[in-house]
Chain A
Amino acid sequence: DVKVTQSSRYLVKRTGEKVFLECVQDMDHENMFWYRQDPGLGLRLIYFSYDVKMKEKGDIPEGYSVSREKKERFSLILESASTNQTSMYLCASSARGAPGNTEAFFGQGTRLTVV
């Protein structure tokens, strides 16, 4: 059974803390993505990575950074958490190739609350 696993289901952090959200996939996928999901705004892409050590900004990268040192692991970092980063965070992975065979598989999500 294919899996994308996010390290935490729920997190509560204080303003100004450095926060790490971890995502691991076991499908040998080249592409990995981080989204945040907010009511009425859908899923907004923060960063994605198409290979180890490679990353590209999505639509809302401000306040975030990412790390991909190994193919199976993609980390999202909030350098200094703020209350407006309270949200649901979703990680996804997909194989490289023509879009025809590259459906994305999602983790269960991390609900982050910054107080």
Chain B
Amino acid sequence: AQKITQTQPGMFVQEKEAVTLDCTYDTSDPSYGLFWYKQPSSGEMIFLIYQGSYDQQNATEGRYSLNFQKARKSANLVISASQLGDSAMYFCAMREGGVNQGGKLIFGQGTELSVKP
């Protein structure tokens, strides 16, 4: 069954340091996508980064990178040079299915990141 697990309910990081948020997943579908979203205290959901199951390279978007280890079924988010504005809830998500398939999108429990000045 499709499943996403985030085992870190809360994390602290010093401003300007890097931080890794863990995410493991389970699926039997060879075609899937992995997403990370940020939810600040305002409540909006902000898309950060995407990794496809067939992508050969780890995805990067500015200060965000996704450490994709397919054999271990992990998709950790790395935030470099943390900023105070990075304090938020972070969700890992997965969607199964290839083209023209309406695969469901499921989320993990979330990790609350606090950046200390």
> Which residues of A are at the interface with B, using a C-beta cutoff of 8 A?
30-31, 33, 35, 40-45, 48-51, 54, 56, 58-59, 88, 90, 92, 94, 96-100, 102-106, 108-109
Q: Check A109–B43 contact: CB distance below 8 A.
A: yes
Query: Given known contacts A99-B33, A99-B97, A103-B50, is B109 in contact with A48 (CB within 8 Å)?
Result: no
Q: How far is the CA of A31 from the CA of B100 in the complex (A)?
A: 11
Sort chain B's interface into a size bin. 20 to 34
Q: Check B32–A99 contact: CB distance below 8 A.
A: yes
Total contacts A to B, CB within 8 angstroms?
Answer: 84
> Which residues of B are at the interface with A, using a C-beta cutoff of 8 A?
6, 9, 31-33, 35, 43-45, 47, 50, 52-53, 91, 93, 95-110
Q: Closest approach, in angstroms, between the C-beta of B92 and any C-beta of chain A?
A: 9
Q: Check B33–A100 contact: CB distance below 8 A.
A: yes
Q: Check A106–B45 contact: CB distance below 8 A.
A: yes
Q: Check A42–B44 contact: CB distance below 8 A.
A: no
Q: Check B105–A94 contact: CB distance below 8 A.
A: yes
Query: What are the residues of chain A within 8 A of B53 when measuring CB–CB?
Result: 99
Q: Closest approach, in angstroms, between the C-beta of B11 and any C-beta of chain A?
A: 15
Q: How far is the CA of A98 from the CA of B91 in the complex (A)?
A: 21
Query: What are the residues of chain B within 8 A of A44 when measuring CB–CB?
Result: 107
Query: Given known contacts A90-B45, A106-B45, A109-B43, is B106 in contact with A99 (CB within 8 Å)?
Result: no
Q: How far is the CA of A104 from the CA of B39 in the complex (A)?
A: 14
Q: Check B105–A30 contact: CB distance below 8 A.
A: no
